[in-house]
Structure 1
Amino acid sequence: MSHSHDANVPRGALIAMGGLVAVSLLLVGAVRIGLVPPAASPVGERVAAKAVAVKSRDLVFIDTAAGDVAVRDVVTGKVDTAVAAGSKTGFIRGVMRGLARDRHIRGLDGTKPFRLTQWSNGDLTLTDSATGRIIELGAFGETNRASFQALL
């Protein structure tokens, strides 16, 4: 039985791969030197549209002994919402877990509030005051957005 270690790649496949790399580099270069405008960021679009904050709330999310997450309003000091483990508001828990992990990795204080903001153009954002990170909640679909909207 003959055994060969030749790994011949067809010439057409090599040309196609080289062409793909060349086109990718050309497109990236076109954006970098300004021939093609980059996609606008949501923050940039809000600035251009002169959108203003319609409603905002500073919130602190607290893990409870029961495994739920309590939501405390910084201004009033009241805990007016609890996000139960295994509830339909699992999206809130997932987002907050990710943001808390980010803070932990950076060695930042976990007690600083998050600002939930409704904008005049309809956007809904969650801003981490510790890291400056902004989550565009509309990007996750209407149902997930609505779970945060309910906190306003």
Structure 2
Amino acid sequence: MSRTARSPDLVPRPTLIAAGSLVLFAIAATGMMRIAGIAPAASPVLLRQQAHVAPVKTRVLRFIDRADGAVVIADVEGGTAAVIAPGEQTGFVRGVMRGLARERRAHGIGDGPPFTLTLWRDGELSLTDSATGRAIELTAFGSTNRATFAALLDAKGPAA
């Protein structure tokens, strides 16, 4: 190969131009939204507040890890809503709680404060962390996953 031969471009020039154009478009669109004063999409929590959607059913719960790997879901007013044994097909509950616990650890909060599970008049189901204020809209995860949490609203589980 001679010294005057050029090595091929790693990324083709049209691809770089397209990527740069996309970035510029995103910045311009964001700027136009700000200048026009268009508010970003509201969260489901804010939309419910604005529409005055009332809760139909609420339950305040604590999720407690046992030494054997089970998770006890206890009602704050007394009793146990459920016990999830290790290996049970309730990975969604464990996943949601793992994410909320991670956020609590980041804020230096322990597992003492409860969570509020709420069924709203519009059919939505949410789980709110009383310590961080974070609300998870459970309906967004599909009917099967929603049903797992919805069952906790009335559940009278085994003794812990």
TM bucket by the smaller chain?
Answer: 0.7 to 0.9
Where do 5+ consecutive residues of structure 1 fail to align? none
Q: What is the letter of the counterpart of residue 147 of structure 2?
A: A
Deviations 1:86-123 (A, max 9, x none): 21211001111111121112111311100000000111
Partner SS for 1:151: helix
Name 2:67's counterpart in structure 1.
65
Is the 8 Å Cα contact of residues 109 and 130 (structure 1) preserved in structure 2?
Answer: no
Output the CA distance in 1 between the equivalents of 2:8 and 2:49: 59
Alignment CA distance shift 1:8-1:130 (3 Å): closer
Name 2:27's counterpart in structure 1.
25
Name 1:104's counterpart in structure 2.
105
For residues 93-132 of structure 1, the aligned pairs below 5 Å read 93-132=94-133
Q: What is the letter of the counterpart of residue 98 of structure 2?
A: R
Q: 1:142 offset after TM fit, Å?
A: 1.0
Where do 5+ consecutive residues of structure 2 fail to align? 154-160
Q: 1:33 offset after TM fit, Å?
A: 2.5
Name 2:58's counterpart in structure 1.
56
Is the 8 Å Cα contact of residues 74 and 80 (structure 2) preserved in structure 1?
Answer: yes
Name 1:84's counterpart in structure 2.
85
Partner SS for 1:46: helix
Confirm whether residue 137 of structure 1 aligns to residue 141 of structure 2: no
Alignment CA distance shift 1:34-1:41 (3 Å): farther
Identity of aligned residues (%): 53
Is the 8 Å Cα contact of residues 63 and 71 (structure 2) preserved in structure 1?
Answer: yes
Deviates more, 1:7-16 or 1:59-68: 7-16
Is the 8 Å Cα contact of residues 81 and 152 (structure 2) preserved in structure 1?
Answer: no
TM-score, normalised with respect to structure 2? 0.83
Confirm whether residue 12 of structure 1 aligns to residue 14 of structure 2: yes
Q: 1:24 offset after TM fit, Å?
A: 1.0
Q: What is the letter of the counterpart of residue 151 of structure 1?
A: L
Output the CA distance in 2 between the equivalents of 1:72 and 1:57: 10
Partner SS for 2:127: strand
Partner SS for 2:152: coil
Q: 1:35 offset after TM fit, Å?
A: 5.8
Output the CA distance in 1 between the equivalents of 2:123 and 2:36: 30
Q: 1:124 offset after TM fit, Å?
A: 0.5
Output the CA distance in 2 between the equivalents of 1:120 and 1:27: 36
Greater relative contact order structure (CA < 8 Å, 6+ sep): 2
Q: 1:27 offset after TM fit, Å?
A: 1.4
Output the CA distance in 2 between the equivalents of 1:19 and 1:101: 38
Alignment CA distance shift 1:140-1:8 (3 Å): closer
